[in-house]
Amino acid sequence: MTDASTQAPLVPTSGPDYQPVATLNGWTLPWRMNGDWKEFHLVAEPVERELAPGMKAYLWGYNGQSPGPTIEAVEGDKVRIFVTNKLPENTTIHWHGQRLPNGMDGVGGLNQPHIPPGKTYVYEFLLRRSGTYMYHPHSDEMVQMAMGMMGFFVVHPKDPAFRRVARDFVFLLNAFDIEAGSYVPKVNTMLDFNLWCWNSRVFP
């Protein structure tokens, strides 16, 4: 995507039914079914984002945006997520809060090799519980998160009637330290970690 305007929720046309979320200043990552696997593709890459009118920032993100697109799936889904690295350094993705096999946890150099620039790594796991999660790198992670690499991973309950809501929004607030007249966040400021994720549900 080339701009960060809020897109209409992506109503599922394959796989189990659920009520999709609206990502404020963002959008949901499309997928395809391959047998009983739900396949997604994230591309880690440098992005340019206009944070305020006329105030452009050079960030890192996914699929043209920072924060990256929201991944939505359903409890019990088997997901296969291709991660292509178009950054100038290694990366990985850690699926924060998901219960998964150790080899899929995305900590570079510990439970998987780092993904070098130009390469694609494939993650496969079963979504064991519903909830609002996030994804982010675990390879030079303080720098990469300070540069804007993160996104939502919403796992909907298997039963679409379970705590069904009228409207569902997610929004991610991330503080960047960008000096006046410059474009690139000062990544060392990330040591004062400032990141907030919200899921705001409107019950009927």
Query: Which positions touch Cu ion (CB under 5 A)?
Result: 96
Find all residues with CB under 8 Å of 37, minimum gap 6, and list them. Answer: 78, 79, 80, 124
The structure tokens listed for 142 are 């303080």
Q: How far is the CB of 138 from Cu ion (least distance, A)?
A: 7
Residue placing its CB nearer to Cu ion in the complex, 126 or 197 = 197
Q: State the nearest-atom distance from the C-beta of 43 to Cu ion, in Å.
A: 20
Q: Say if residues 75 and 130 touch (Cβ distance below 8 Å).
A: yes
Which residue intervals of 104-201 are DSSP H helices?
Answer: 141-146
Strand partners, 72: 154
Name the minimum Å distance from CB 170 to Cu ion: 16
Task: Look at phi and psi of residue 35 and say left if phi exceeds 0, alpha if psi is from -120 to 50, else beta.
Answer: left
Report the residue number, 22 or 90, with the smaller CB distance to Cu ion.
Answer: 90
Smallest gap, in angstroms, from Cβ of residue 158 to Cu ion? 25
Nearer to Cu ion, 18 or 62 (CB): 62
Cβ-closest position to Cu ion: 96
Nearer to Cu ion, 9 or 137 (CB): 137
Q: Which residue has the tokens 């739900």?
A: 38
